[in-house]
Amino acid sequence: MNTFVSPFVIMPNMKNFFLCLFPSFLFFVSACAGQPAATQAELNSTSTVSSDEDPCASQNMPTTIAPLNDLMREFDDASQLASNLPVQQLPEAISSLQRIRRETEDAQIPACLATLKTHQLNHMNLMIQTLLAFVSGAEQAKLNNGLEMARKEHDLYSLEVVRLLGVTLASITSTPPTSSTP
């Protein structure tokens, strides 16, 4: 038995469908009505950002990096202080470190700083986790591993700052001592 559905049977359903969508279409058209169309010159002027306005332009990079770097310096100072506190005072210091990390997480950054912020947050998280492990009595090997991983993330953060600022690093070579002849 062949079941054939006539297109005329489907049409009333399609008609109802379009009748339901038509008011939405009218609303959309009326909302857009009266809005002037952008000219090509306007589109070009809004899509092109001058290098003075671009936070990722090389001349603006020091200013763009500064807020994140200020948070890193604050975190480094607080973690240095925490490393010299007795265990019973660490919870308050850890709370301060977590506050700084949250400020870093919430910082709005341009896309060019994404890698920098990732290394920064990785470092902060590893330091906080290591301090929490210390408070809970973790083994020395686990603490050393946590500190080593945090140091590596800090190094990656520093290298990313150097890259973003366009600084060329030179290797340090020792100079032979000069001989003094009378």
Delimit the domains of the chain by residue range: 61-165
| Half-sphere exposure at residue 151, Cβ-oriented, CA atoms within 13 angstroms | 7
**pLDDT average, residue stretch 19-28:** 43
**What is the pLDDT at residue 145?**
96
Return d(Cα 89, Cα 146) in angstroms, integer: 20
Cβ atoms of 122 and 160 within 8 Å: the answer is no
**% residues pLDDT > 70 (the chain):** 68
Return d(Cα 117, Cα 105) in angstroms, integer: 8
Cβ atoms of 82 and 131 within 8 Å: the answer is yes
Most confident of 40-44, 45-49, 88-92, 178-182: 88-92
Q: What is the pLDDT of residues 39-80, one digit of tens each?
A: 444 444 444 555 668 999 999 999 999 999 999 999 999 999
Q: What is the pLDDT of residues 119-141, one digit of tens each?
A: 999 999 999 999 999 999 999 99
- Whole-model pTM? 0.67
The mean predicted confidence, pLDDT, of the chain is: 79
**pLDDT average, residue stretch 105-118:** 96
Return d(Cα 55, Cα 61) in angstroms, integer: 6
Q: Looking at per-residue confidence, does 176 or 59 come out higher?
A: 59
